[in-house]
Amino acid sequence: MDWPGQIDAAREIEIETRKAEDAPAHRTPIWIVVNGGDVFVRSVRGKEGRWYREISANPAAVIHVDGESVPVRATAAADPESVQRATAGYESKYSDSSALDSVLRDEILDTTLRLEPS
């Protein structure tokens, strides 16, 4: 995979999460952005979103992009600089979507995560 080029080009991906290594996997379609070479995701459902709860408990995940599966590790990116960079990425990539505001709400900014290949 061309990291993060293919991710940047993908409109939507699926993230596969588990609350523990031996727990069932769940796939959720999400938006993903790249800014300055860093890959960011954010939970539109805030801390209540299942995939966010699972990845918070077990940061090992898999993203599915263009038919490829890529193991990743999530780290919190709720610091002001990362949140701003992720927001800028969402505003640029999804500016044509009427759903853009759903990922820019103040109450979900602290669910911003950085993904890195593992």
Specify the pTM. Answer: 0.96
- The SS3 call for residue 46 is helix
pLDDT at 1 over 90: no
Domains and CATH numbers, the chain: 5-117 (2.30.110.10)
Percent of the chain with pLDDT over 90: 98
How confident is the model at residue 23, as a pLDDT? Answer: 95
The string of pLDDT tens digits covering residues 36-93 is 999 999 999 999 999 999 999 999 999 999 999 999 999 999 999 999 999 999 999 9
Estimate to the nearest angstrom the gap between the alpha carbon of 36 and the chain centroid. 15
